[in-house]
Structures are given as C-alpha cells and as structure tokens.
Amino acid sequence: MDYQTITLDITDDIAVLTLSRPDVMNALNTQMRAEILHAVKDASGKARVLALTGAGRAFCSGQDLGDRANAANLDLERTLRDEYVPMLRAIFDAPIPTICAVNGAAAGAGANLALAADVVIATESAFFLQAFTRIGLIPDAGGTYWLPRQMGAAKAMGAALFADKISAKQADEWGMIYEHVADDQFEAHWRARAAHLAKGPTQAYAHVKEAIRGSFDNSLDEQLALEAKLQGKCGKTFDFREGVVAFLEKRPANYEGR
C-alpha cells in the first residue's frame, strides 16, 4: 500500500509505524485507520516488534471531526464497528510485542489507540485526555475496556466524567502506562526498548500476552492450567534451548524468535 497518512519503516526486525498528519495533530480519519490496519498486519509478518508513534507535537488528537462535511451526521456506531474495531484488534492481537511511544498529546480515540499496545512509553511532556464528554460522548475505541483494567474503576470513572488532562507522570503513577521518560531521552529510550524486544524470544512474548490477558477471565485453576499449557509450548522452542545453553555458558542468548 502507498501510505498517505502514516509511514512504516522496518529495519533490524523493528517496525516503526508513525502517524503522519501533523497539521491536524495526527487526527484519525477513515484513510488513516485503513492504513494503520494494513501496516500493523504487514509489520506483524515481517518484524519481531512493532512501535507506534506520532509525527510532530502530538501523538494523536483522536477522531478527525473535520473528516466529514457535517460532524453531527457521523454514523459513530458504524465508524467504530467497521473502522476502529479492526484497527484496534490488529494492534491488540498482534503476534509480536507492540510498543506505543506517546510523543505528545494523546486525546480521545488517540489516547485509547495508544492503550491498545502491549507497552506504553510516554515522553514527560505528553498527556492523555478522555475528551469525549466535552462533546457529549462516552469514551470509545476501547477506552471503557482498558482504563478500568489499567488504572482501576475509580480513576477510570473520574477520567471519563471530568475529561481532565492526565499527565504522563500521573498516567505512570496510576498504572495507566508502563513508564514516562524525560523529553530529551525519550526517542533513544523507546527505540532501545524496541531493540531489546526485537532480539528476544518472540514466541515466549506472544504467550506472555496470552497468559496475562487470559487471567482476567480465569479462575486460579484455569490460569494454572493455561500457564502449564503455554509453558509446554515455550519449552519446545529453539529459543528456550538457546536460552538454557547461553545461561550455562555464561553468555548472551542469541534468540531467533522460533
């Protein structure tokens, strides 16, 4: 696909998907959602880690309300069902680790797009904003799913009702994201994180995602059984054997993702 609203670079097993509509703070329109969906699926088969970030001063300002002539006539249910859901599921279900490097403002659907990733790393000056009630809507794009799981029901409810800005530092302290990093260290840091995952045991990472996500719906016995099943799969991989040999030989492991 000839991307017009994003860029995709795949180098050294690291796929970097950059939202690239900086003139509108990377607001999401129909074309961008389709391009993100395509790029995520493409990267999942060619790289061992996927990082999403934004061009310019924002990560993503959410739905582009100027995408249609009359925003009041938007069919929001159809847009969410047909355009957002496939895009979000592609990120959430990716067989490789996903990092969202939030380089600036993440508002509305843009905030929740970020939370679809496995790990969220934000620059210190970034913020998250559930802006929906400011225009008479509820959080969407997965917000009502991810927020209470990551920051608890009380914080999630307040964030949704008051539509307050949540600083990167607050988001980190509340468990909404993994970490926040000083602005001058941000890009080098998230790229180093991506490089670490790109060189790791890719199949184990996929099973980590499956196990942790499954725990929310499982009883203890069900989760213990799932762990045993997935560990059995990990134990049959090349990377497990390589990891053990490397440990015994006191050298770094050379994982191949298989």
Q: Of 168, 170, 161, which is closest to residue 130 (Cα–Cα)? A: 161
209 and 162 belong to one structural domain: no
Question: Cβ(26)–Cβ(59) under 8 Å?
Answer: yes
* pTM reported for the whole predicted model: 0.93
Residue 69 predicted with pLDDT over 50: no
What is the Cα–Cα distance from 102 to 96, expressed in whole angstroms? 19
What is the Cα–Cα distance from 202 to 110, expressed in whole angstroms? 27
Sign of torsion over alpha carbons 176, 84, 52, 43: positive
Could you list the residue range(s) of the whole structural domain that residue 51 is in? 6-198
What does R_g of the chain's alpha carbons equal in angstroms? 19
Task: Report how far apart, in Å, the C-alpha atoms of 254 and of each of 193, 203, 230, 250 are.
Answer: 17, 14, 22, 12
131 in a structural domain? yes
131 and 207 belong to one structural domain: no
257 in a structural domain? no
Residue 138 predicted with pLDDT over 80: yes
Mean pLDDT value across residues 104-115:
97
- pLDDT band of 68, cuts 50, 70, 90: low
- The percent of residues above 70 in pLDDT, for the chain, comes to 97
146 and 219 belong to one structural domain: no
Q: Work out the mean pLDDT of the chain and round it to a whole number.
A: 94
What is the Cα–Cα distance from 207 to 203, expressed in whole angstroms? 6
In the block, tokens 């134990």 appear at 235
- pLDDT band of 75, cuts 50, 70, 90: confident
- Work out whether strand 14-19 and strand 6-11 pair parallel, antiparallel, or are unpaired: antiparallel
Q: Of 208, 196, 143, 181, which is closest to residue 53 (Cα–Cα)? A: 181
Tokens of 119: 């790990």
pLDDT at 72: 56
173 and 217 belong to one structural domain: no
63 and 130 belong to one structural domain: yes
Read off the CATH number of the domain in which 236 is found.
Answer: 1.10.12.10
256 in a structural domain? no
Q: How many structural domains are present in the chain? A: 2
Mean pLDDT value across residues 62-66:
87
What is the Cα–Cα distance from 169 to 82, expressed in whole angstroms? 34
30 in a structural domain? yes
171 and 89 belong to one structural domain: yes
154 and 179 belong to one structural domain: yes
pLDDT at 74: 74
Q: What is the pLDDT of residues 202-247, one digit of tens each?
A: 999 999 999 999 999 999 999 999 999 999 999 999 999 999 999 9
87 and 191 belong to one structural domain: yes
Strands, E assignment, 154-247: 165-167, 179-181
Mean pLDDT value across residues 136-145:
95
Sheet holding 127-129, edge to edge: 58-60, 105-107, 127-129, 165-167
Question: Cβ(129)–Cβ(141) under 8 Å?
Answer: no
pLDDT at 94: 96
Sheet holding 98-102, edge to edge: 6-11, 14-19, 49-54, 98-102, 119-123, 179-181
What is the Cα–Cα distance from 99 to 109, expressed in whole angstroms? 17
